[in-house]
Amino acid sequence: MPPSGGATFICDNMIRAPRFWNYNGLAARMLSPFSRIAVAIAAYRIARPGWTAPVPVICCGNATVGGAGKTILAQDLANRLTARGIAVHILLRGYRGYARGVRPVMPDDSAALTGDEAQLLASLAPTWTGADRAAGARAAVAERAMILLMDDGLQNSTLTKTMSLLAIDGATGFGNGRVLPAGPLREPVIAAASRCRAAVLIGSDISGALAQLPPELPVLGARLKQSKEVDAIRGRRVVAFTGMAIPCKFFAGLEHAGVVLAAREAFPDHHAFTHKEVVSLNLCAKAIDAVLVTTPKDAVRIPHGISVQVVSVQLIWDNEAAIDMLLDELVMSSAK
């Protein structure tokens, strides 16, 4: 699949999601009765009591179906907790992985087995996949975890959370503000926010998301910044490709860092790249004397044997002391 010939982005932020999820149009209104059913089912599931672990549980969650920045937030918190000398273990479902039941992520595991997010997180701390977060938590506690960190799971009631953070992408926000299938929400914003200690707004609030939050909920601002890996390709022509929920974040980030985007290709979220696809992209890059570039999350889904430049991002906090204070409060309360 060759990339397009120019760097003009086709990105309405939810490139693989229904377009009407961004608008309160006819389709959204017609589907709203089904949303009421979804709201009732979600509320029933969330209300069920879960297992209370003997250690603190932090949840990096969101209200929408994807692309809010939960994993990059979990990576940042894992690094901060590890720097404090705390044995943090990470729990996640292992989305798109074929592994069943609760299992630790091992060094020789593949993204196909565990899911791509688990591969990234396992490089930072012991990581467990499994839909039953309580079972994962028990396994982690048995391995002497001092804090459990959940990537996603705000709507999963099997494990009681000590502190939940609501991740919000500033560009897409909450879409049209409706619940599935009429919009991108898993549950109403107010319901999700009511169970969170704070919201984490990633990027500028161009979607008006903050206006939909309860006024008493603290909001921590942050932004994504390309890592130092981008220095090697700054000023170079690149062919960029990704299979992430909001591909324009990756493309725009490269341009902002001074990379010349000769071409780009957006695949579906969590796309399992074939050898043929990546070889085709590599040939296109070579034909125009460009570098083939992707994200770490995509790189773990690329077949072996093809050279691809990986550029990651890091979370930069507007007020780093604010997130550190939340973590310190949690650590101190658990020590009592």
Query: Any idea where the domains of the chain sit in the sequence?
Result: 29-224+316-335, 225-314
pLDDT in tens for each of the 336 residues of the chain? 433 333 333 343 444 679 999 999 999 999 999 999 999 999 999 999 999 999 999 999 999 998 899 999 999 999 999 999 999 999 999 999 999 999 999 999 999 999 999 999 999 999 999 999 999 999 999 999 999 999 999 999 999 999 999 999 999 999 999 999 999 999 999 999 999 999 999 999 999 999 999 999 999 999 999 999 999 999 999 999 999 988 999 999 999 999 999 999 999 999 999 999 999 999 999 999 999 999 999 999 999 888 899 999 999 999 999 999 999 999 988 776
Q: What is the CATH number of domain 29-224+316-335?
A: 3.40.50
46 residue type, one letter: I
- Sheet of 57-61, strand order: 103-104, 127-129, 88-92, 147-151, 57-61, 163-169, 198-202, 219-226, 313-317
CA distance 234 to 228: 10
Closest CA relative to residue 68, chosen from 269, 229, 255: 269
Q: Give phi and psi for 263, each to the nearest 5.
A: -160, 160
Token code pair at residue 116: 């791509």
Neighbours of 192 (CB within 10 A): 24
Q: Which residues contact 191 (CB under 8 A, 6 or more apart)?
A: 42, 43, 46
DSSP state of 106: P
Neighbours of 303 (CB within 10 A): 13
Closest CA relative to residue 50, chosen from 118, 135, 109: 135
CA distance 302 to 329: 40
The three-state secondary structure class of 11 is coil
Residue that is written with structure tokens 């074929």 in the block: 98
* Global confidence as pTM: 0.92
CA atoms within 13 A on the CB side of 133: 27
Token code pair at residue 96: 């798109």
CB 175 within 8 Å of CB 35? no
